[in-house]
Structure 1
Amino acid sequence: MINLTIGGVPEHFNYPWYVALKNKEFAKHNINLRWKDFPGGTGEMNTALRNSEIDIAIILTEGIIKDIGDGNPSKIVQTYVKSPLVWGIHVANNSSFQYVSDLEHAIIAISRFGSGSHLMAIVNAYNNGWDINKLQFKVVGDLEGGIEALKNGEAGYFMWEHFTTKPFVDDSTFRRIGNCPTPWPCFVIAVRNEVLEHHPEEIKAILNIINTKTATFKNIENIDIILSKRYQQKLEDVQKWLSITTWESENSISKELITEIQNKMIALSVIDSKANAQKLIKNMYI
């Protein structure tokens, strides 16, 4: 049996993996797949891939594209969630900021440089016509760090996934003053090159299992209630999230899609140059 470690954020997007692991579906293929939570998000996972701490990551598209371009020895093997991710723009509840336009010169709390919270802050600034070169950042590590930074006045705003942060909006820890959806599919599956070279059949098996699971995920009886309890979210919020979220059911990713995403990232000043798509992806089914 081969041992592999997969990383992802401890959020509702990744519950299909929990179900497959609980049912020991990977073990049936002689794969001991171990899950590791990364509350710090994409920047933390990029470091873990580079350090061989994990073999596979369920990771934000913009973050892994940028990091592979910067030397991360991994490749994207497929899209995981093909719908956009909705990023909430949050300020402290007692903040004087009322509108997104008020935030142009405010310090931005981010989990890490190269993370989704960092890159999407650039996208948001571009969308609002701000000077990206004048943005100021405060590294806070994760969602809890973002809460503290806004509470202590070390940062003016913090961007994180809309539904994950909704309980903190409901209890008045945060006040959400806007949203910023990603202009591309939000999550992809990335694998270290060494693992792709030595264990391609196991990776194919993992992809087949998770795609089968996500294809019927919304049909699981009472899945909205299950997610509401597990992630401590209101039932109506979970139902809305399920209605706008679409998982991938294909086992590959095209050069055309990656090129299209990179073109958008360059236009939005998220990356400076475009990498050859072949450097970024590995089609497991050719």
Structure 2
Amino acid sequence: MTTIKIAGVPEHFNLPWHLAIDNNEFEAQNIDLKWTDVPEGTGKMCQMLRSGETDIAVILTEGIVKDIIAGNPSKIVQVYVASPLIWGIHVAANSIYKTVSDLENTKVAISRLGSGSQLMAYVNANNQGWKTNDLQFEIINTIDGAVEALTAGAADYFMWERFMTKPLVDSGVFRRVGDCPTPWPCFVIAVRDEILEKQPEIIKSILEVINKKTEGFKNISNIDKTLATKYHQKTADIQEWLSLTEWSQDALPKNLLNNIQNQLFQLKIIDKKGTFDEIVKAI
């Protein structure tokens, strides 16, 4: 039995992994896949890949592309979710800010430097025509930290996946003033170079198992109710989310990587572009 460590956010996108693990589908391939939930998100997972704390990360595309260019010894082996991530733009329920345009020159809560919440703040600022150099950040680590920061006024707005944050909107903690979809597929699967070199067949087997799971995921009986219960969502919200979400079983194509890098470069999120072979390794 080969032990492989994998990390991802504790969100509905990753339920296929948990179902496959619980159903012993990796074990049947002689793989002991050990999952770690990372509520801090992409910045933390980049750090875990660098340190060897995880072998695989199911991670936001923009965050891992940026970190590989900055020296993270990992490669993207596949797109995991092909559809955009819809980032909700949230303020405290009693905030004086009513629209996205009101938030210019205010402070944004981010989980950590290099996180998706920081990178998407740049995307949103660019969409709004704001000066991205003027963005101010408050590091809050997790969504609970965001609740504290926005409630106390330490930060003014917070960008996080719209559906996972909706219970906080429904309960009157946050108010959503807008959305900002990613202009690229939202999640990819990244693997440390060392693992790719030593155990490529193991990684190939892992991808085969998860791809089979995601292909049939929407057809699982009562999957909407399962997701709603597990992630504390309303069934109607999960049904809307399922209709908007498309998993992928394909490698990241060169033209799409070029498009992502061009946008990140334009936003000054990266100061140089990497080659396809530096960032991607198809299995």
Question: Could you say whether these structures have the same fold, taking a TM-score greater than 0.5 normalized by the shorter chain as the test?
Answer: yes
Quickly name the TM-score band, shorter chain normalised: over 0.9
Q: CA deviation at 1:254?
A: 2.0
Quick check: 1:81–1:247 contact (8 Å CA) kept in 2?
yes
CA RMSD of aligned residues (A): 0.8
Query: Match of 2:147?
Result: 147
Report what 1:257 is aligned to: 256
Does the aligned pair in 2 maintain the 1:57–1:190 contact within 8 Å? yes
Distance 1:30 1:234 in 2: 37
Amino acid at match of 1:270: I
1:61 aligns with 2:61: yes
In 1, are the aligned partners of 2:93 and 2:172 still within 8 Å (CA)? yes
Give the equivalent residue in structure 1 for 2:267: 268
User: Which aligned segments of 4 or more residues in structure 1 are displaced greater than 3 angstroms?
Assistant: none
Q: Which residue of 2 aligns with 1:115?
A: 115
- Residue 80 of structure 2 aligns to a residue whose secondary structure is strand
Query: What is the CA distance between 1:260 and its match in structure 2?
Result: 1.7
- How far the C-alpha of 1:182 sits from its partner, in A, is 0.1
> Is the Cα–Cα contact under 8 Å of residues 82 and 247 in structure 1 kept in the other structure?
yes
Counterpart amino acid of 2:257? I
1:156-183 C-alpha deviation (Å, 9 max, x unpaired): 0000000000000000100000000000
Letter in 2 for 1:15: L
Asked whether 1:90 is paired with 2:90, we answer yes
1:268 to partner: Cα distance? 3.2
Separation (CA, whole Å) in 1 of partners of 2:271 and 2:127: 17
Q: TM-score, normalised by structure 1?
A: 0.98
The answer to whether the 8 Å contact 2:79/2:188 transfers is yes
Kept after mapping to 1: 8 A contact 2:78/2:249 = no
Give 1:247's aligned residue.
247
Q: Taking structure 2 as the reference length, what is the TM-score of the superposition?
A: 0.99
Q: Percent identity?
A: 57
Task: Please say if residues 79 and 253 of structure 1, whose CA atoms lie closer than 8 Å, have aligned partners that are also in contact.
Answer: yes
Aligned partner of 2:222 in structure 1 is 222
Matches of 1:162 and 1:253, distance apart in 2: 25
TM-aligned CA deviation for residue 267 of structure 1: 2.6
In structure 2, the partner of 1:170 is: 170
What is the count of residue pairs matched by the alignment?
A: 283
Equivalent residues of 2:87, 2:160 under 8 A apart: yes
Gaps of 5+ in 2: none
Match of 1:277 in 2: 276
Offset at residue 266 of structure 1 (A): 1.9
